[in-house]
Amino acid sequence: MRDNASVKQAVCDAVERHRERIIGLGEAIMDEPELGFKEVKTAARVKSVFAEAGLPMEDGLALTGIRAVLDSGRPGPTIALMGEMDALIVPDHPRCDALTGAAHACGHNAQIAGLMGAALGLTDAGITDELAGRVVFIAVPAEEYVEIDYRLRLVREGRTTFLAGKPELLQLGVFDDVDMAVMIHSGSMDSMDGEAGVSASSNGFLAKTVCFRGKAAHAGVAPEQGVNALNAASLALQAIHAQRETFRDHDCVRVHPIITRGGDIVNIVPAEVRMETYVRARTAEAMLDAAAKVDRSLKGAAMACGCTVEINTVPGYLPLLNDPHLAALFKDHAEQLFGAGTYREFPHSGGSTDAGDLSQLMPVLHPVMTGAAGTIHGKDWHIADPGAGYLAPAKALAMMAVDLLHNNATMARRVQADSRPRLSKSQYLDQQQALFRTEIWEAGA
Ligand SMILES: [Zn+2]
């Protein structure tokens, strides 16, 4: 049996042999961006690569997700390598979909190219019988938490249970036999310190859609006969701001409401005003505490103006906890690919990902790797260096699989032994389901 370094070299060489294919896939997906739970063309590309690699697969998971398995035939842990398929809505991106405004402004096209590259590299290197356990490749739908109304409709129609891909795959049982999961997110060379790195943690969030209902009246002739829903919303924003001094710095709370409908016509007292907000925090406790203060603010504002307020709360993502063993392995891979001293430990991130949900149940790694340029979620985001953006993630994922499963999967077993999941699957599902709530506070009630 070859030593660990030779096996890793073999998979990296195999990735290089598929260089043009991997870059071509990343660029083709960039030019065919699709929104979450609608990634039909992207899924077709993924399936053709898995088929070409000779991997058995299941498709249609959470509508568009695909899972393929590389089985060493020897007992051992199962590790998941993941890539996200969905785009954002950035209608002024030069490579957006003209009809939907979807654009890959977060580099998920590179995640899929990287995942496909890892699948091609690991299967083509002829090293499977030197591993123990299994590698599952999962192309995950819907990481971006957008089109909330559309996704709530999917839930009402019984087509999904949650509003994002990984929570949905979790509840479907797609991760039931998975012991740990790894993915790599693209980072922008314009803003990134170093070439690759890991944040120890990131924020979780829940989302709220809010509707204030008042009474229409002529805004000039008889405003006293109306009930102004916009005044209630505006007071609610102030009341939410007034809570900020109660948020502790280390909880990293972010509440960022917007008004999505402010009234219909200027000479009528607004009778219906809508808002949306995320409530983000470092821990579930801090998130729930801040969410209760937001609810209190909304109801207080409704009361002051004599409005009714409807508050719909939906689960977002749980805080991300990156596994330290997996991060240490990734550091080696990153420095092998980019040179010594290029790896960074980033501070806690105020952003959120549904990899956070997984990380409460099993060891997870969600690092960032360079290769993109421009502003994340902005119109100028693209993969500027195909070697770093598409091939390096493929090699890093493939090397991760080797490090975990080579040598009778000693490393994967160590990760498992040291992991302390915060939640069981049933606790997770109960907790997230309980967040779905519609509350109606009526004036005078
Ligand atoms: Zn992203």
Closest C-alpha among 340, 21, 320, 342 to residue 189: 342
- What pLDDT is stored for residue 375 in this prediction? 94
Closest C-alpha among 444, 395, 440 to residue 196: 395
Please tell me the distance between residue 126's alpha carbon and the centre of ligand 1 in angstroms.
32
Contacts of 6 (CB under 8 A, 6+ apart): none
Please tell me the distance between residue 242's alpha carbon and the centre of ligand 1 in angstroms.
31
Measured distance CA(192)–CA(319) in Å, rounded: 22
3-state helix, strand, coil in the chain (%, to 5): 40, 25, 35
The pairing of strands 258-261 and 102-103 is unpaired
Measured distance CA(95)–CA(196) in Å, rounded: 26
Q: What is each CA distance from 418 to 53, 323, 364, 406, in whole angstroms?
A: 33, 10, 13, 18
Span 319-360, pLDDT tens digits = 999 999 999 999 999 999 999 999 999 999 999 999 999 999
Please tell me the distance between residue 351's alpha carbon and the centre of ligand 1 in angstroms.
10
Measured distance CA(257)–CA(207) in Å, rounded: 10
- Output the six-digit token pair for 307: 């409005």
- Output the six-digit token pair for 427: 């606790």
Please tell me the distance between residue 153's alpha carbon and the centre of ligand 1 in angstroms.
23
Please tell me the distance between residue 178's alpha carbon and the centre of ligand 1 in angstroms.
22
Please tell me the distance between residue 291's alpha carbon and the centre of ligand 1 in angstroms.
24
Work out the angle at residue 301's Cα, subtended by the Cα atoms of residues 300 and 303, and round it to the nearest 5 degrees: 65
Partner residues linked to 84 by β-bridges: 140
- DSSP, residue by residue, 336-364: HHH-TT-EEEE--BS---THHHHHTTS-E
Low-confidence ranges of the chain (pLDDT < 70): 444-445
Please tell me the distance between residue 381's alpha carbon and the centre of ligand 1 in angstroms.
12
Q: What's the pTM?
A: 0.93
- What pLDDT is stored for residue 445 in this prediction? 57
Please tell me the distance between residue 235's alpha carbon and the centre of ligand 1 in angstroms.
34
Burial of 46 (0-12, 13-18, 19+ CB in 10 A): buried
User: Which amino acid is it at 5?
Assistant: A
- Output the six-digit token pair for 3: 């030593």
Task: Find the helix or strand (DSSP H, E) in which 412 lies.
Answer: helix 392-418
User: Which amino acid is it at 66?
Assistant: I
Please tell me the distance between residue 360's alpha carbon and the centre of ligand 1 in angstroms.
19
Please tell me the distance between residue 300's alpha carbon and the centre of ligand 1 in angstroms.
36
Span 118-174, pLDDT tens digits = 999 999 999 999 999 999 999 999 999 998 889 999 999 999 999 999 999 999 999
Please tell me the distance between residue 272's alpha carbon and the centre of ligand 1 in angstroms.
33
Work out the angle at residue 313's Cα, subtended by the Cα atoms of residues 273 and 173, and round it to the nearest 5 degrees: 140
Burial of 343 (0-12, 13-18, 19+ CB in 10 A): buried
Please tell me the distance between residue 138's alpha carbon and the centre of ligand 1 in angstroms.
16
Please tell me the distance between residue 281's alpha carbon and the centre of ligand 1 in angstroms.
18
Q: What is each CA distance from 398 to 7, 9, 15, 393, in whole angstroms?
A: 10, 10, 9, 8
Please tell me the distance between residue 53's alpha carbon and the centre of ligand 1 in angstroms.
26
Measured distance CA(216)–CA(223) in Å, rounded: 9
Alpha helices per DSSP H over 18-54: 19-30, 40-52
In the chain the domains, ranked by start, together with CATH numbers, are 4-202+319-428 (3.40.630.10), 204-317 (3.30.70.360)
- What pLDDT is stored for residue 309 in this prediction? 98
Neighbours of ion ligand 1 (CB under 5 A): 106
Span 182-201, pLDDT tens digits = 999 999 999 889 999 999 88
- What pLDDT is stored for residue 148 in this prediction? 86
Please tell me the distance between residue 95's alpha carbon and the centre of ligand 1 in angstroms.
17
